[in-house]
Structure 1
């Protein structure tokens, strides 16, 4: 287990200290793990207080939602462990006044007991306190009665609604009613792609195969309702939404809010993929999605996965969801709008495709040979690239090969038209730096190959200028451990052979040999440019991937 912590026994307190250090609107009780809103008025002047909490490990819940217009205080227990009665009672005393307090509690036995008893004690002390239970996990619809379902990510929407109602001056009964209505209307379901690791345990909470997932999980590292084969994102979303819609039976034309919640280890990229399909699927059912949020709202430490929450909304509930809050973890209004597409500007029309020249068939055959060689060497190039980069070069070259194969026959009419077409195709197909390098090289070379059948000198100039353009674009030179370490000696050797009157085949053969030697020299060459430069001496011991890719297509042209 690798975690950025000191002692697992102190991780919750140190987390809360960091939380208040980063947020001027929050303060930390000196004797309990409780964060309260800073600068509260005197108890007699305080509006209804809204508090929540539970075990830690769900960050940014619950401390991230402490702020004007949301929670007045949050109580943090140990990781996945309910806070004590005394901690909850201290929070109520610090946050509330005679107008009372509402405790928003997720439906777990420990939370219900400790928050419930604290509410009784606070009420006895003269602070009328109500408890609202959130049990939004509809994955358990066929397992337990509704009142025994778990409380999960939808709880955050209850925080927002109750907090906004309290900030608007609602009474204790009114805030409680708004919170209870929202909690009763929620429906949430999650999926996990892996387990989480509790700091004090030091190992994953359950074992999940590489091609398995858990549907219907909670937020405490427990397994889900059922295990199944890993599905694509859209299929996972479909499975979750089917349950949500079965639970809520919404009528077309009704209005809803959608919360796409990450469980701690799911990047924004994947959550956006999920949100996109969830929105389109719900809209296809005739539902109107007025608000949507995507991000980490209630997590399970470092668990990969997500949950989806649906909440029906009307004008009043939207007003509460839209109300301003300075709670640091609340992302804002989350207004949803239909997907917008803007037509791309069209390129200036090019000249008409020339009639096929005498080299058209040969040019296409050579290019297809290059495509085949790139595909054959995908794994080799990926392995070399992974030693000093992100390992995507092999896949990029295969995409380039597919782009070559897709070019229409008319593009091969002349050397000039072929290289211009190849430049555009590779520019669009190849990711990273290789795409622009090859695109500019092919464009520069095309300018030297205007004749239907260029002579040897023209081919030599084209190759040399192509190589020069790569150095100009990227700023590299021979010795920097890049593709130029293979290309530059190859271009120089080819030019020398042509100048001495050698045939193209002979000169190219020597150029390939020079490229091989250049690529070999990169094995012990310290990188000075590109991503590999960050590795320093750790990149030594294998040839540069870009230089090796040059060898692939140069050898293919030779054959």
Structure 2
């Protein structure tokens, strides 16, 4: 696995140096991998200090939660390895005052031993220390007793509760009581779609393309059960059902939720998960007061997600809402009071369509349906051409355009102008990428001022206006290897041929030939705009897909006069 590091042995210290270099409210303890708040007052004036930590590789945890209102210090071990007792003790000494220290520890053997020994040593020096163990992993509910479960992403919520209680001025016993109460009422479960690799190491497990791991921890280890890959909604249902069954929350209970990416999960997928999680929690009759989503406690680059649910009441909600300057805390978590969907605003002055199509409107419909047919037939050709210079979606986009044309209601074809406007709206929604706005704008421009019984010269003017809108909108010029290289010569030839006295059918034939020649010539043109411009001369030899598409549908139109 490729890593952007210098050396595996140096990665933790260099990571922490970069982290504190980006955060003005933090400093790094000399000689130890400990991040401290930079604003600590003299010891005599300090509130209860909150310390957490563990192995590295979980970023932004734990250093990201150091700041006013959360942690006073975070202790970082090697990747997925508990920090040494000496490092924890150094952190305690650095932040402690007469009010004492609370250690928030995830329930792993190494963490409990090293933090526990450091606490004993600190007490022997006269420093009051309490320890809170977080064991929120409900995936182990049928495997081990609750006290032996792992501590995972729910720990972040315990950090927040403890930090806010300290900032409110509570004594050590009271801060510890609130943190323990929160830890006892949070449940978490995760799923991985793949493994992660520590710097210089190998993946902890291997999954087939159609497999996933349910109930994993945060150290790259396998989960409690391997299953076939499921859609996101089914995954969320599996996770939340286990969490809610374990917490035994009654309808009406107030909760906060955490959607936590494990390091390799895009925000898009986390939002899909959050959508289902909120819906399911509410369907269970729970009141979701706060929710957060993001990569908050990770396992390096692991693709996957965990869900946490914390039971809350008024005082605990106040702790979650209390201000904090910790750089990784994901915000206030407030949710919309109502479903956040707003109806589409209709046009300001909708026109009433003619009940019966005019002859010209019917002719436009026949031409448009022929265009739809040829675009459908050309899908594979357009896909191949577009894949050579872009993302290969033009063929499918043109099929969507064809389907949108066929789906227009009868009233849309009342007049040529109404038909072009209806096609503009439909194609603007149906065609992906830049082609959609270009076609939508061109059709609107063509419809402007078009009579109900347009003559060939009116169509020539409308065509020229439509083509002129394309460089206005996108900035392309003739010779830039775009659809303009097919459309512009066609519009110019059509208008010139009509002006020379040729019948409309012959004038249009010349226009179609000019479009075909222009599209073919793009094979020799160097791309200057669009995605093809990124590939330079690698696209030479094949014509531009957009120009070919334009020439294709122009050839399907046959004038009636």
CA distance in 2, matches of 1:387, 1:49: 60
Q: State the match for 1:358 in structure 2.
A: 359
Question: 1:241, CA displacement in angstroms?
Answer: 1.6
Matches within 5 A, 1:58-97: 58-97=58-97
Shift in CA distance, 227/46, structure 1 to aligned 2, threshold 3 Å = same
Q: State the match for 1:414 in structure 2.
A: 415
CA distance in 2, matches of 1:22, 1:84: 26
Q: State the match for 2:308 in structure 1.
A: 309
Secondary structure at 1:187 match in 2: strand
Shift in CA distance, 447/168, structure 1 to aligned 2, threshold 3 Å = closer
Q: Which moved more, 1:480-489 or 1:153-162?
A: 480-489
Q: State the match for 1:543 in structure 2.
A: 543
**Structure-1-length-normalised TM-score:** 0.93
CA distance in 2, matches of 1:500, 1:2: 67
Shift in CA distance, 512/6, structure 1 to aligned 2, threshold 3 Å = farther
Question: 1:346, CA displacement in angstroms?
Answer: 2.1
Shift in CA distance, 130/342, structure 1 to aligned 2, threshold 3 Å = same
Question: 1:386, CA displacement in angstroms?
Answer: 4.5
- Aligned partners of 2:442 and 2:465 also within 8 Å: yes
Question: 1:136, CA displacement in angstroms?
Answer: 1.0
Shift in CA distance, 254/131, structure 1 to aligned 2, threshold 3 Å = same
Matches within 5 A, 1:282-321: 282-321=281-320
Shift in CA distance, 473/219, structure 1 to aligned 2, threshold 3 Å = same
Q: State the match for 1:157 in structure 2.
A: 157
Q: Which moved more, 1:300-309 or 1:498-507?
A: 498-507
Secondary structure at 1:105 match in 2: strand
Q: State the match for 1:472 in structure 2.
A: 472
Q: Does 1:440 align with 2:427?
A: no
Matches within 5 A, 1:322-337: 322-337=321-336
Matches within 5 A, 1:120-199: 120-199=120-199
Q: State the match for 1:457 in structure 2.
A: 457
Q: State the match for 1:493 in structure 2.
A: 493
Q: Which moved more, 1:22-31 or 1:172-181?
A: 172-181
CA distance in 1, matches of 2:524, 2:272: 42
Q: Which moved more, 1:211-220 or 1:33-42?
A: 211-220
- Aligned partners of 1:467 and 1:487 also within 8 Å: yes
CA distance in 2, matches of 1:382, 1:41: 65
**Structure-2-length-normalised TM-score:** 0.93
Q: Which moved more, 1:244-253 or 1:4-13?
A: 4-13
Question: 1:491, CA displacement in angstroms?
Answer: 2.0
- Aligned partners of 1:448 and 1:459 also within 8 Å: no
Deviations 1:1-35 (A, max 9, x none): 44332223222111111111111111101211110
Shift in CA distance, 216/554, structure 1 to aligned 2, threshold 3 Å = farther
Secondary structure at 1:157 match in 2: helix
- Aligned partners of 1:354 and 1:414 also within 8 Å: no
Shift in CA distance, 373/281, structure 1 to aligned 2, threshold 3 Å = farther
Q: State the match for 2:32 in structure 1.
A: 32
Q: Does 1:404 align with 2:402?
A: no
Question: 1:67, CA displacement in angstroms?
Answer: 0.7
Aligned length: 557
Deviations 1:424-454 (A, max 9, x none): 11123223321221112112222464243x3
> What is the RMSD computed on CA atoms of the aligned residues?
2.4
Secondary structure at 2:399 match in 1: helix
- Aligned partners of 1:426 and 1:435 also within 8 Å: yes
